[in-house]
Amino acid sequence: MTDWNDIITAVATVLEGDPTGGAPRLRALWESSSPDEHAQRCVLAHYLADLQPHLTEEVRWDELALEEFSSVHQDDLRPVGITSAAGMAPSLHLNLGDGYRRQGEIERAREQLHLGQTALAALTEDGYSTMIRKGLDMLRRRLDTNDPPSKS
What's 98's domain CATH number?
Answer: 1.25.40.10
Confidence (pLDDT) at 31? 97
Digit-coded pLDDT (tens) for 17-53: 998 889 999 999 999 999 999 999 999 999 999 999 9
118 in a domain, yes or no?
A: yes
28 in a domain, yes or no?
A: yes
150 in a domain, yes or no?
A: no
Digit-coded pLDDT (tens) for 90-134: 999 999 999 999 999 999 999 999 999 999 999 988 999 999 999
Residue 48: which of 4, 92, 98, 84 has the closest Cα? 92
50 in a domain, yes or no?
A: yes
Band of residue 143 on the pLDDT scale cut at 50, 70, 90: very high
149 in a domain, yes or no?
A: no
Task: Kindly give, in sequence order, each residue whose CB lies less than 8 Å from that of residue 87, ignoring residues fewer than 6 positions away.
Answer: 77, 122, 123, 124
Confidence (pLDDT) at 148? 62
The 3-state secondary structure of 86-126, one letter per residue: HHHHHHHHHHHHHHHHHHCCHHHHHHHHHHHHHHHHHCCCC
Residue 6: which of 34, 40, 45, 47 has the closest Cα? 40
The range of the structural domain enclosing residue 63 comes to: 4-144
Confidence (pLDDT) at 124? 87
User: Total domain count for the chain?
Assistant: 1
54 in a domain, yes or no?
A: yes
Confidence (pLDDT) at 147? 66
108 in a domain, yes or no?
A: yes
130 in a domain, yes or no?
A: yes
Confidence (pLDDT) at 146? 77
pTM (predicted TM-score): 0.92
Residue 56 has pLDDT above 60, yes or no: yes
Residue 152 has pLDDT above 80, yes or no: no
Digit-coded pLDDT (tens) for 57-91: 999 999 999 999 999 999 999 999 898 999 999 99
Ramachandran bin of 72, using left for φ above 0, alpha for ψ from -120 to 50, beta for the remaining angles: beta
CB atoms within 10 A of CB 27: 14
